[in-house]
Amino acid sequence: QQPVQSPQAVILREGEDAVINCSSSKALYSVHWYRQKHGEAPVFLMILLKGGEQKGHDKISASFNEKKQQSSLYLTASQLSYSGTYFCGTRGSGNTGKLIFGQGTTLQVKP
Amino acid sequence: DGGITQSPKYLFRKEGQNVTLSCEQNLNHDAMYWYRQDPGQGLRLIYYSQIVNDFQKGDIAEGYSVSREKKESFPLTVTSAQKNPTAFYLCASSILIDLNTEAFFGQGTRLTVV
């Protein structure tokens, strides 16, 4: 079952902040975050692991609440280049190779 | 350069015909994935494979088939049984031993069935 992202879409002005949420009905082993520009491949941003370890982009932060099976991506002082669709991906607690993604959150940053 | 290559970028087919999408990677990754992308529905998993000659169904496998005869190749066939095949298809790969690493995506194939 796909993780659920919220909100579905966000419109910001440059310099504003945004939070994108991802929740799952199943126990999670890790949460991945990707950004996709229109017509392009998704690009890796960050991985969050059980126990609090984070790996990824140094200008984007995220949190992972294992008990609540939720993750949030924090975009601060947004730039025009942040525009795109953000996806969270999850691996289940069985630590398998299966990787499923949410429906995406579209972020538009305006000048 | 290492990477994952999908071909072709655009594909047109007549309704009722089977079509095969290519995905090749030279990253020496064990795991490979196929996703379908439709507006508002995100990336939905079609099939994935963790090892040569083995693969598992994802959430929307009906109407699709795959093979994994070589580690570097994971072609996807869209069969005539797929009721609405027009979509953007993405292939990805990742290291399996260390699941704490990211998936790498190809540039995608946009399939249009007329």
Is any Cβ of chain B less than 8 angstroms from the Cβ of A69? Answer: no
- Asked whether the predicted pLDDT for residue A60 surpasses 70, the reply is yes
Is any Cβ of chain B less than 8 angstroms from the Cβ of A86? Answer: no
By C-alpha distance, the chain B residue nearest A32 is B102
Calpha distance B80→A64 (Å, rounded): 42
Is any Cβ of chain A less than 8 angstroms from the Cβ of B109? Answer: no
- Asked whether the predicted pLDDT for residue B46 surpasses 70, the reply is yes
Q: What is the pLDDT of residue B76?
A: 98
> How does pLDDT run across A26-42, given as a tens digit for each residue?
877 789 999 999 889 99
Calpha distance A102→A83 (Å, rounded): 18
Please name the member of B40, B45, B103 whose beta carbon is closest to the beta carbon of A103: B40
Q: What is the pLDDT of residue A110?
A: 96
> How does pLDDT run across B72-99, given as a tens digit for each residue?
999 999 999 898 999 999 999 998 766 6
User: What is the overall mean pLDDT for chain B?
Assistant: 92
- Asked whether the predicted pLDDT for residue B31 surpasses 80, the reply is yes
The arithmetic mean of pLDDT across residues B45-50, rounded, is 94
Please name the member of A30, A41, A103 whose beta carbon is closest to the beta carbon of B105: A41
Calpha distance A42→B8 (Å, rounded): 18
Question: What dihedral do alpha carbons B89, A99, B65, B12 form, nearest 10°?
Answer: 0
Cβ-based neighbour number of residue A26 at 10 Å: 13
DSSP string, A51-99: TS-EEE-TT-EEEEETTTTEEEEEE-S--GGG-EEEEEEEEETT--S--
- Asked whether the predicted pLDDT for residue A52 surpasses 80, the reply is no
B46: three-class secondary structure by DSSP: strand
> How does pLDDT run across A68-86, given as a tens digit for each residue?
889 999 998 899 999 999 9
Q: How far is A77 from chain B (nearest CA, A)?
A: 25
Calpha distance B86→B71 (Å, rounded): 28
Q: Say yes or no for a CB contact (<8 Å) between B103 and A99.
A: yes
Q: Say yes or no for a CB contact (<8 Å) between A41 and B56.
A: no
